[in-house]
Amino acid sequence: MIVLENLHKSFGPLEVLKGINLTVDKGEVVSLIGASGSGKSTLLYCINALETIDGGKVTVDGVDVHAKGTDINKLRQKLGTVFQQWNSFPHLTALENVALAPRVVSKFSRKDAQEIAAKQLTHVGLGDKLNHYPSQLSGGQQQRLAIARALAMEPTYMLFDEATSALDPELVGEVLDIMRMLASEGMTMIVVTHEMSFARDVSDRVAFFKKGVLAEIGAPEDVMNNPQDPDLQRFLSTIG
Amino acid sequence: MDYQFHWRPVIQALPDLLKASLVTLQVSLIAMALGLMIGLVLYFFRASQLRVLRGFGSTWVEIARNTPSLFQIFVFYWGLGEFGIFLSSYTAVVAALTFNCAGYMAETYRGGFNAVNPGQDKAARTLGMTRFQSMRYVVLPQVLRAIYGPMTNQFTWVILASSLGMLAGLRELSGETQYFNSRTFRTFEFFAATAVIYYLIAKMALLLMALLGRPLFKAERAKS
Ligand SMILES: Nc1ncnc2c1ncn2[C@@H]1O[C@H](COP(=O)(O)OP(=O)(O)O)[C@@H](O)[C@H]1O
Ligand SMILES: [Mg+2]
């Protein structure tokens, strides 16, 4: 369970998160939507401690993420993260990309790590690309590689930050398909997205962000078909 | 003016010249290897939050890059004597060239690190890697690829610059050549032969770097 309590975050004078409360249960898929600059990425980075926080509390399975003694590297293994930019490691093959963290973080032998990697790459449909370098893969394939790389750490949660926004339109589908597959397998996911059909079809809940505030949250049919917040109504009509 | 070429003295001296070439190679390799390591430390110093470290790193780089190499050698050979530190020619030349290489490499590393997208480190850290692991397995291998060209140039440079060591009394290739020149007065022959040897050493160094670099550039070769 991921719990955000009265979460505050500022960059200098700019208050980006103004007291967020959100609980994500195991097995749940929560989509975060909202205008660019509203603080969605920052929220994800407060969960995996890429950012510090200025007030409130974030707990993951009862562990206070931002407390002093927390082993953040251990905690991050539970929190798979996929960014807009796939950040594949260009000097390593697909197999090595995925096997690296199991080997150096989880201390699997090289052989076991590669087995794990091959399994995850096959899972995301890259079983025939194990020895390809990222430069030989399309953007969609590299993003699936990034997903496999996160899955290889056997995370409890997956955080997606606009995972399809940097992709050519024809490559968006293959990545969304993998995300759908993960959701159907019961993965707990927090998904920042502009793909409204994905949010509608896959999420258990959709949360609308407005200038650092969680303005509206609920079941997708309520939030998306019957929005209350006027800004959300405007947002949904512009984004189609 | 007729100048009669006499190659026999050169041929007779060849074994000694080749032995001196080994000194040249040794001095250059040590200075380069140490310079690579110290240069990395200097890079981190200059990127540090701590003013003292930044100041130390920047001063080193500034002096190394903006004063003549010959001057640097003289400082290590004679200058340190003022402080009661007396280095042998060999140690002084190695130290001075290391000082110089470290300064240049620190600057080169900076370019190398800038060439690596910060997203790489971010991705590594979210997988649970420590700062060090991310550096070791993700960032540095990419830095090394980015600086490999400049690093190779630096290696060639240090081989040639080590000839300045003769002015601190080191019998490396140039010093040895000068020694024979002063005994035989076959100036042109000796320095021509030595130039050829330098050329061959430099080419060998390039070859060595190309071979050592091969595993680094697997990904580039795979592209085709
Ligand atoms: N590291 C940072 N330093 C300063 N401002 C930042 C930083 N990261 C994000 N911001 C600002 O915080 C606000 C929220 O950004 P972000 O969380 O990326 O929004 P979103 O993901 O919803 O587009 C934006 O105004 C952005 O410019
Ligand atoms: Mg964002």
The string of pLDDT tens digits covering residues B23-67 is 999 999 999 999 999 999 999 999 999 999 999 999 999 999 999
Residue B5 confidence (pLDDT) above 90: no
B4 falls in which pLDDT band (50, 70, 90)? confident
Amino acid B81: pLDDT: 85
Residue B135 confidence (pLDDT) above 90: yes
State which of A14, A45, A52 you would mutate to test the pocket of ligand 1, scoring each by most atoms of that ligand within 8 A of its C-beta: A14
Instruction: Tell me the average confidence (pLDDT) per consecutive run of 10 residues in chain A, 240 residues long.
Output: 97 95 96 94 96 96 95 95 96 97 97 98 97 96 98 97 94 95 96 94 95 94 91 86
List domains and CATH numbers for chain B: 8-223 (1.10.3720.10)
Q: What is the DSSP letter of B83?
A: G
Residue of A81, A89, A146 with shortest CB distance to B138: A89
Side-chain-facing half-sphere of A157: CA atoms under 13 Å: 25
Closest ligand 1 atom to Cα of A35:
22
With CA atoms as reference, the chain A residue closest to B122 would be A50
Residues within 6 Å of ligand 1 by CB = A 11, 14, 16, 34, 36-42
B224 falls in which pLDDT band (50, 70, 90)? low
A24: Cβ–Cβ under 8 A, 6 or more apart, which residues?
Answer: A1, A2, A3, A30, A157, A188, A190
Amino acid B82: pLDDT: 85
Mark yes or no for CB contact B128/A90 under 8 Å.
Answer: no
User: What average pLDDT does range B119-141 have in this prediction?
Assistant: 97
Distance A37 CA to ligand 1 centre (A): 6
Amino acid A57: pLDDT: 96
B1 falls in which pLDDT band (50, 70, 90)? low
Number of Cβ atoms within 10 Å of the Cβ of B192? 15
**DSSP β-bridge partners for residue A33:** A208
Mark yes or no for CB contact A133/B222 under 8 Å.
Answer: yes
Residue B222 confidence (pLDDT) above 90: no
List domains and CATH numbers for chain A: 27-38+68-202+215-239 (3.40.50.300)
Please identify which residue in the block is written with the tokens 């963290």.
A101
Rounded Cα distance, A175 and A3, in Å:
27
* Long-range CB contacts (within 8 A, 24+) of B92-95: B92/B168, B93/B27, B93/B162, B93/B164, B93/B165, B93/B168, B93/B170, B93/B172, B94/B27, B94/B30, B94/B31, B94/B34
With CA atoms as reference, the chain B residue closest to A88 would be B120
Amino acid A240: pLDDT: 62
